[in-house]
């Protein structure tokens, strides 16, 4: 095996999930997309924004990250 500084890349195969949301949440997401477009001048669909929003939210949740770091991984 090569002694490379960069380790083998993790699995990056996209995984599709389906969720059911309320009409109110759908409208809130559409509103967010509109504000995003005004802020950055880019019209991104909510299907592109949601994964980024979730990633950002989870990365900032201190209690979650502490609990996750304490868990032994296999």
Between CA 44 and CA 64 the distance in angstroms is 28
This prediction's pTM: 0.76
Q: What pLDDT is attached to residue 50?
A: 96
Q: Which residues contact 46 (CB under 8 A, 6 or more apart)?
A: 29, 30, 32, 33
Neighbours of 33 (CB within 10 A): 18
Tens-binned pLDDT, residue by residue, of the chain (74 aa): 568 898 888 899 999 999 999 999 999 999 999 999 999 999 999 999 999 999 999 999 999 999 999 985 54
Q: What pLDDT is attached to residue 8?
A: 87
- Residue 73's region, left for phi above 0, alpha for psi from -120 to 50, else beta, is beta
Residue by residue, what is the 3-state secondary structure of 41-53?
Answer: CCCCCHHHHHHHH
């Amino acid at each position: 095996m090569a002694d490379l500084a960069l380790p083998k890349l993790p699995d990056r195969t996209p995984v599709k999930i389906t969720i059911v949301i309320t009409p109110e949440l759908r409208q809130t997401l559409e509103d967010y997309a509109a504000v995003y477009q005004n802020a950055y001048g880019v019209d991104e669909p909510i299907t592109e924004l949601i994964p980024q929003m979730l990633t950002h939210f989870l990365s900032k949740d201190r209690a979650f990250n502490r609990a996750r770091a304490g868990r032994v991984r296999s």
